[in-house]
Structure 1
């Protein structure tokens, strides 16, 4: 009997063990990067596997700021990521609300078009956007990156928010309009407060995408004044030399702002990602 209960308890713990295993596998690359960033240079590339450093050092972190204009890259990434997030969120919110609440000709085709746009590789947009920005004279500016990131993030953001708006009962707006509110007023006073969690989730999605994006940034920027953090880190990769210590330290530093942001609004983001899953 004791063996039976022990076996039964073990069977119940198998899913938990599998989840822990998957988490460890997912966290291993991040842990490896952190450990690499604090290893002395001679211990990074060795014939034998050396997981932990014999003596931790922060020399790579100091070298990152002395070798690269790191604060400039961080500032550029913040400006571009915040600008893209705000612009994309405004457009996606109004578009999603219109698709959710109004019935117009071509509504289904519009949503299908939004979904189709995200199926194309990013590289297909490079040449058209480059030609447009060249004609407008906005290459190597923040504006070009904000427009490029918004172009790619708005369709998926619209899909996310449409599902949430569909879950909000129409009766709430109708009650507000009976009390004298306009349609726009009901949207601002009733819908937007209820959609806070979904808006936060969408905002974080756009911010993380803009913060980590590389292909658009390396194509549309040329100078240090507009170069973003991923492009700045790529300058550490030479043709014959690759400084893994500096690259790992730069990667750890670049992930800190996103981690801090996610920690503050974790609950709102999780609520927003699951809000539109059930019809209200």
Structure 2
């Protein structure tokens, strides 16, 4: 029994080391004043915040972070609303080609993102959405909605219809029933899908790079590329910017942690 516990402890420690070591190396390099002087130590030789100051100052990274935040939050809010309404439609209403719609939602998820770059670029150009944050929001919605709709469908279908009928008998309208009965019950699913949408929009690089030709509209993922030079790379700035990029994701996870856990577990057994 002790040998088994010891083996489990070693396994957990190995997984934690494998997972956290890159994070520690990133933060250590960001705080190292000699990161670009060939430093190979795991601890900063010169503790400094100069790399962060350079990223926000000369690097103009604050603007990129703001653009990413606008795009990510726009994707989350619009995606949550559309996914919830679409999930209610496919879970509660009977209409022609209902099964075909669900199958098409799954098929869309199987298409590689790289295969859609050129078609979506041409479409965005015809709609005059290039070099706009709204254009990125629309594209990210197209990728996050299939997963969100499919997941939310399970949550909506798991809510007993009798609860909705009881609300109608008490004189509630459909809108009141939706706000007071259905929405609170499917809130964990909304959190789970919102986290997925946020990560998709926050970390995406290919479309943000392709759609944006003006530096002022760059997202954080594209702005990070500016610290890689043709003949040399500013590793201190790269790691500082990478550390900054991870902070909003960590904050978002901390805020949504409780509902995210219950939402993922419920989504695995419902529907």
- Normalised TM-score (structure 2): 0.93
In 2 relative to 1, CA 179–194 (structure 1 residues): closer, same or farther, beyond 3 Å?
Answer: same
Who is 2:38 aligned against?
A: 45
Give the C-alpha shift of residue 249 in structure 1.
Answer: 0.2
Who is 2:238 aligned against?
A: 247
Distance 2:200 2:48 in 1: 31
Unpaired stretches in structure 2, ≥5 consecutive residues:
none
Distance 2:148 2:64 in 1: 26
- Give the one of 202, 209, 212 matched to 2:193: 202
Distance 1:42 1:75 in 2: 27
Q: Does 1:236 align with 2:254?
A: no
Who is 2:4 aligned against?
A: 11
In 2 relative to 1, CA 231–39 (structure 1 residues): closer, same or farther, beyond 3 Å?
Answer: same
- Give the one of 187, 190, 207 matched to 1:216: 207
In 2 relative to 1, CA 268–62 (structure 1 residues): closer, same or farther, beyond 3 Å?
Answer: same
Distance 2:207 2:36 in 1: 35
Q: Does 1:109 align with 2:100?
A: yes
**1:81–1:210 contact (8 Å) kept in structure 2:** yes
Who is 2:87 aligned against?
A: 96
Give the C-alpha shift of residue 182 in structure 1.
Answer: 3.5
Give the C-alpha shift of residue 56 in structure 1.
Answer: 1.7
Distance 1:265 1:14 in 2: 33
Give the C-alpha shift of residue 122 in structure 1.
Answer: 0.9
Distance 1:235 1:157 in 2: 33
Give the C-alpha shift of residue 184 in structure 1.
Answer: 4.1
- Give the one of 117, 120, 124 matched to 1:129: 120
Query: CA-to-partner distance for each residue in 1:149-185, whole Å, 9 max, x for gaps?
Result: 1011100111121122222222111211222234443
**4+ long deviations beyond 6 Å:** none
In 2 relative to 1, CA 110–19 (structure 1 residues): closer, same or farther, beyond 3 Å?
Answer: farther
**Structural mapping, 1:124-273, within 5 Å:** 124-273=115-264
In 2 relative to 1, CA 251–12 (structure 1 residues): closer, same or farther, beyond 3 Å?
Answer: same
In 2 relative to 1, CA 20–112 (structure 1 residues): closer, same or farther, beyond 3 Å?
Answer: farther
Size of the alignment, in residue pairs? 271
In 2 relative to 1, CA 237–54 (structure 1 residues): closer, same or farther, beyond 3 Å?
Answer: closer
Distance 1:205 1:44 in 2: 38
The structure with more radius of gyration: 1
Who is 1:68 aligned against?
A: 59
Q: Does 1:30 align with 2:23?
A: yes
In 2 relative to 1, CA 14–171 (structure 1 residues): closer, same or farther, beyond 3 Å?
Answer: farther
**1:60–1:245 contact (8 Å) kept in structure 2:** yes
Distance 1:213 1:161 in 2: 23
Aligned alpha-carbon RMSD (Å) = 1.8
Give the C-alpha shift of residue 108 in structure 1.
Answer: 2.0
Give the C-alpha shift of residue 189 in structure 1.
Answer: 2.0
Who is 2:13 aligned against?
A: 20
